[in-house]
Structure 1
Amino acid sequence: MANIEKRGEGRYRLTVFVRYDENGKQVRERKTVSAKNVTEAKKMLTQFEADILGGTYVRPEKMTLSKFYDDWLHKYAEDVYAYDTIRSHKLHLINRILPAFGHKKLSDIKTIHVVNLIETMKKPGSRMDGGEGPCSTSSIRNMHKAFTSVMGLAKQWGLVRENPCDGAKPPPMKRTRTEVNYDVETINRIAECIKRESLEKQVLFWVAFITSARQGEICALEEKHVLKEQQAIYFEQSLTEVVGEGIKIKSIKNNLEGAAAIPTGLMDMIDDLLRQRRKEKMVMRDKWLYPETIFVFADETGKPRRPDSISQWWNRFLKRYNLPYMRFHDLRHFSITYLIEKNVPMKSISDRARHARIDTTMNLYGHKIIDVDRLAASHFDSFLPPKSVDK
């Protein structure tokens, strides 16, 4: 028997009745957790009850970081994070965080411990690869993300009152902006050159530029994602290559699925490409690697193109036609910037880019928005007197 009691905004107390003692009194286990709503709290209660009845529950005051790591990995991370994120988090947890704090009780881990670990990583000789220099800023930040994830879950499950990582800020990442000439002339030059490529490569470019989709999302497109009646493409998954395991399909970044409308001309090209894929499937028969589906971008056996193979083709394409260097991923930025310059509403652009929040779009492309706004302001010059010239 178990129940939930609301204890405040976003706080719920979970109670599981374990047994009766020798005096006939109920023996209960309780813990207070953070949850968005009652539905989420009920899921936590189900897991809490299962842990108690299964004999795997450890009281919060006795739970060590090493013990909790297994719960974080199998009851949370594997369901929430993509493969690459889990691999990165495990690298830092197993090689750096657990050796230092694994023996500690969760409640004994304080902000100063995280601060000291960050400072240690800034010192020469702290690299895990044996290098003489300090850890890179990105490595420190990734360690902090892993530690924050584990301790954040401990807080959510009511095992600690606060996340000690919140008060220990990692060094800021120095962002370097790749200068790419985002202008109509460059678009037109690429558009002319891409006509000389195969149909698949033409469709690949136009899907990337028109939908602003990410590379892995494009590689994962299947025939079912082409919505002919709605004149759109639906993005719901992404493709990655796992070392030792091959190609894997994962959920889209931030789980933000969505459709992007496309022009009739591109839909016609995709139709032609899919017709070609269906013919290849008929020829290959039992040698077709994915009997249940057809990937839009694939080889003659139906195997989807890898993201890195697209980058390799793109680099060769740019060199072949003496085009300015840009990453294939830059087509996403190219697309968003182009829409900003065409004064498309920012909410529409953010939705199309599948950013989690509109302020993400504003932060990433604020400099371009200012340029467009400056152009808009210039239209009012005619109302104002010209600048006087000193004699």
Structure 2
Amino acid sequence: MRGHIKQRSKGSWSIIIDVGRDPQTGKRRQQWQTVKGTKGDAQRELRETLHSLERGAYVKPQKVSLGEYLKQWVESYAAIHTSPRTTEGYRAIVHRYIVPALGGIPLCQLQPQHLENYYSGALSHGRLDGKGGLSGRTVLHQHRVLSEALSHAVKQGVVVRNVAEAVVPPRPGRIEMSTLASENVPRFLDAARRTPYYVLFYAALYTGMRRGELLGLRWCDIDLGRASISVVQTLYRLSSGEFVIKEPKSPHSRRLVSLSPSLAKLLRGHHAEREAQKALLGERLAGSDLVFAHPDGSPLDPSTVSHGFGRLIRKAGLPHIRFHDLRHTHATLMLKAGVHPKIVSERLGHANIGITLDTYSHVVPGLQEAAALRFDTLLEPETAQTEVR
């Protein structure tokens, strides 16, 4: 089977493939396809199309656009095979970013250069509020969604290849981590006492649990006798207002977290308070009841909790941190206190210790210095003391 390319205009090429002669008229038949990009892009597309035809895997170009396909993929595939929250995220990426920028391109004509140009523009001026570009991490996430959708298109025989695989996505930059300094912890807890979320904020700081894990915590998940928490579910709220409870984000996120004596004591008091609130409503506190909830037992809105945390930080005059930064604070303070990184990793629910060490690399140099000093003290105590002085 033979074929060739022909330039139509600048940046536009036609792929012409000879597909034999019409058995009735004897006239030569040709398959035409338009490719946007360079001459090299057109030649590469020609080779891949000829190869697909030879193996019987050629998919005749369809008129469906990338935007039409992505919308259909989100609703008919992603909505069935992913969690409601993941589907909601995919839908937002497709409708807010990819469709407005690339949606009009015919799916069969999508080229790597389309994606490269889009990523470059998104990084420089892709924010919806017009205030500059998107982060590398955000654009990388968009790339992954697009690649997943195109991989499905290949499996369904809609296109021959996933063009996203030919594109090198942006590298996510390292996130500057903000934590609560140890000397500011008493000030933070004192301010937290004057909010309805004192026990919740205390638990976040003293366990390193994620917001959704804490809001999904039930009394049956807490063993006050053994001073431990079993992390078995997480709670979040969809944009529709619906609360959803699901299993933790990964198998390693299902874990046992030991409680400090002070947190165990605080939770006992919180349990007694919740029992009293239930009694006023003529009910009894059940093991399945949420630990952190409204007086009537209904779930707390995660966004409301985060906003309340932000107000606390501002009123207390503390450096800006997010609710999630209490998790980073917990890990950082534990590592600085000499707790083995493996233990910290288990408490956080990381898949492996490497993730913990990479995430908290800012603490590692200090651990190295402390370890060197301990070793010196072990073998040459007098020399070590002299050096310290």
Q: State TM-score, norm by structure 1.
A: 0.66
SS in 1 for 2:245: strand
Give the counterpart letter for 1:235 in structure 2.
V
Is the 1:61–1:105 contact (alpha carbons within 8 Å) kept by the matching residues of 2?
no
Distance 1:170 1:222, change over 3 A: same
Distance 1:156 1:373, change over 3 A: farther
Is the 1:208–1:332 contact (alpha carbons within 8 Å) kept by the matching residues of 2?
yes
Matched, 1:236 2:232: yes
Matched, 1:352 2:347: yes
- Using the TM superposition, name which of 320-329 and 345-354 deviates more: 320-329
SS in 2 for 1:89: helix
Distance 1:76 1:309, change over 3 A: closer
Alignment RMSD, CA only?
3.9
CA distance in 2 between counterparts of 1:343 and 1:162 reads: 51
Is the 1:82–1:251 contact (alpha carbons within 8 Å) kept by the matching residues of 2?
no
CA distance in 2 between counterparts of 1:224 and 1:269 reads: 17
Distance 1:345 1:138, change over 3 A: closer
Could you tell me how far 1:340 is from its partner in structure 2? 1.1
Distance 1:164 1:350, change over 3 A: farther
Is the 1:89–1:142 contact (alpha carbons within 8 Å) kept by the matching residues of 2?
no
* Structure 1: gaps of 5 or more residues: 1-58, 387-391
Residue 15 (structure 2) aligns with = none
Q: What is the number of residues matched between the two proteins?
A: 319
Give the counterpart letter for 1:80 in structure 2.
T
Matched, 1:217 2:242: no
Matched, 1:341 2:341: no
Is the 2:178–2:325 contact (alpha carbons within 8 Å) kept by the matching residues of 1?
no
SS in 1 for 2:165: coil
Q: Percent identity?
A: 24
Could you tell me how far 1:316 is from its partner in structure 2? 4.1
Give the counterpart letter for 1:151 in structure 2.
L
Distance 1:94 1:202, change over 3 A: closer
Matched, 1:314 2:309: yes
Report 1:261-280 matches (<5 A): 261-280=258-277
Distance 1:132 1:350, change over 3 A: closer
* Structure 2: gaps of 5 or more residues: 1-56, 385-389
CA distance in 1 between counterparts of 2:218 and 2:155 reads: 37
Distance 1:143 1:324, change over 3 A: closer
Is the 2:59–2:159 contact (alpha carbons within 8 Å) kept by the matching residues of 1?
no
Residue 186 (structure 1) aligns with = 184
Residue 89 (structure 1) aligns with = 90
Matched, 1:361 2:360: no
- Using the TM superposition, name which of 290-299 and 208-217 deviates more: 290-299
Is the 2:248–2:254 contact (alpha carbons within 8 Å) kept by the matching residues of 1?
yes
Q: State TM-score, norm by structure 2.
A: 0.66
Report 1:170-209 matches (<5 A): 170-180=169-179, 182-183=181-182, 185-191=183-189, 193=190, 196-197=193-194, 201-209=197-205
Could you tell me how far 1:105 is from its partner in structure 2? 5.8
Is the 1:88–1:142 contact (alpha carbons within 8 Å) kept by the matching residues of 2?
no
CA distance in 1 between counterparts of 2:314 and 2:132 reads: 36
